Copies of this chain bind each other. A is one copy, B any other.
Amino acid sequence: MKFAKIPMATITRLSVYMRTLQDLLEDDVDVISSERLARLCGVNPAQIRKDLAYFGEFGVRGVGYRVGDLLGQIKDILGLTRRWNLAMVGLGNLGSALVRHANFLKHGYTFTAAFDVDPQKVGKRLPNGLLINHVNEIEEVVKDRDVNVGIITTPASAAQSVANQLVLAGINGILNFAPVQIQVPDCCHVENVDFTISLDTIAYHLSVSG
Residues of A within 8 A of B (CB): 8, 11-12, 14-16, 18-19, 40-42, 77-80, 84, 92-94, 96-98, 100-101, 103-104, 106-107, 109, 148-149, 172-175, 177, 179-181, 183, 187, 189, 191-193, 195-210
Contact = CB atoms under 8 A, between A and B. Distances in A.
Contacts of A192: 198
Contacts of A77: 204
Nearest to A109: B199
Contact of A18 (B78, B97, B200): B200
A157 to B, nearest CB: 10
Nearest to A197: B15
A181 B41 contact: yes
Nearest to A93: B97
Nearest to A19: B179
B94 A206 contact: no
Contact of A204 (B78, B183, B202, B203): B78
Nearest to A186: B209
A149 B195 contact: no
A72 to B, nearest CB: 15
A195 B98 CA distance: 10
Contacts of A78: 200, 203-204, 207
B189 A206 contact: yes
Contact of A201 (B11, B84, B187, B204): B11
**7 nearest CB pairs, A to B:** A79-B207, A97-B97, A93-B97, A173-B202, A191-B198, A15-B200, A189-B205
Contacts of A109: 199
